[in-house]
Structure 1
Amino acid sequence: MSFHPRMDSRIEGFTPLEPLRWRGWAGAVADIWTVACAENAGGQYVSPNSRLFVMLEGAASGAIWLAAEGDDATVKVTCENPIAFVPAGCVVYSRVEGIARLSHLDIHFDLGALRRKAGMTLDEDRLVLPRLGFADPRILALAGLVADEVRSENPLGDPYGEGMITSLFLALCGAPQHRPRLPGPRLGPTQLARVTGFLNANALRNVRLEELASLAGLSQSYFANAFKASAGVTAQQYHAEARLGRVKALLSETDTPLNALALMTGFADQAHLTRVFRRLTGTTPAAWRREHVAKKP
């Protein structure tokens, strides 16, 4: 097997409970990690290879909070939405809440090999956009079979494993059968008002691209281009500015501690809030609060 995935990570609060289990096939490497989690355990991860994360054990009552760099929302991953797809090069931050023992499956994809094996058109948008916290019965069923094969002392062999990986990859990235053919690159006034109103009303929670596209009655790739052409910014940037407005209001009107304010406004933690706030404003929340509270009469 010539494919060797890499992962750069900075983690804290995790203690391995079992040896890492892994198995590789043409097109992918799968591994299972089982750990004990301290309170607020978490980390930062990035890989040059796309990967699929599936939580196998751990979220009966707790959750994992995930955030992708460049997307200011955090996603609560539980047993009801235990899957996350992370594109190549995407930095992801995690924080564990209320989970003592966690077991999850990572499948690292060799996209070049899988594209050659797929034998069908792929939806390339689905290979470059992070999808954090979703459920799909086909993907869950196939991921369960992959996990069984990784754990097995008597695996059924490469053809079986490669067939599962190819099927899973197609379920994840296969092109939809029907795409609307709509003229023009812009949203209509009613569509734009509906979407921006929704973004403003939901500024403090994660909003998915598929939700917005559905509101406008468009495919995700068409909607993303049409919204930017109509609003002058991407939907993610518009949502980030709406959230920033709520954060600034809380900073200036309340004395809520920054760690609590971060969680109230949908960030993974205070550090995540500070990083995003500095990127959008050039200063930190604490400095902004001091300046604006001082200016009040």
Structure 2
Amino acid sequence: MVFMSHRTRLPSPSPSEPVRRVEAGPWLIELLPGCAYATRYVAAQSAIGFAFDSQRGLHAIGSDRVLPFDAIPDGLAFVPVGCDVLSESPQGGEYLRVLRTDGIALAGDRAFNNRIDLHATILARRMRSALLRGSVEDDWEAWALALAERTTQTATSSSPHSGSITGSRMRLLDEFIDAGLDGPLGVPVMAQLLGLSEGYFMRAFKSATGKSPHSYLIDRRLAKARALMRDSTATLTEIAYRCGFNSQAHMTTVFRQRLGVSPAQLRGSSRR
């Protein structure tokens, strides 16, 4: 979920990608793989989070009311010191967590999530790529500080309006995409599913998620491919076709562009 200190993983019959982490000066940066989790804690230190995937489950943040949550992809989050957090999800999603470990609290006293911030997205993706590559020589301190500064910016996203991409519509769209990844998918069928015109759908989707439907579809293909690489013995060619890529070479190109590593490199690191 979007608010997280440590995840308690739930039993799973299949192995998960490893937690990848790096310590740089006063910062701890972790990339948590998508997996089922359940956690409850009082935040001993403030934390920045970034959800790469759609996530759903139950949470109670600074409250005793446990409510359903829908986390949108590329959503920035913040948890202040002392915040009581309960969160659980049957699937979870890939999540970046950044902590300051020298006792200096980060600015901010209110928890938030699902904030779309283009600069935060660029930083988070850069950090994910470096973590997946196993790089320790990048400018981690500057990246972490820049991401922390994004949490102090005033939220600019507008409130949902009639016909927008709400949490329930995003959930319906995710289910539809995941069921049809091995075939052709495009804006017309996605807009039709939600009962929206193509132009309105594209604008509303961009407003809600910060990315185009096409870019989001590629991210879903990548997420599915990574899950199959982790949880099955299928060859990379088989996985490529099952996820809607034209070939293994096409999938490799997209992996390198989006993640900075090839499918073979990522599968090898997960098995190790």
**Larger gyration radius, structure 1 or structure 2:** 1
TM-score, with normalisation over the residues of structure 1? 0.42
| Greater relative contact order structure (CA < 8 Å, 6+ sep) | 2
TM-score, with normalisation over the residues of structure 2? 0.46
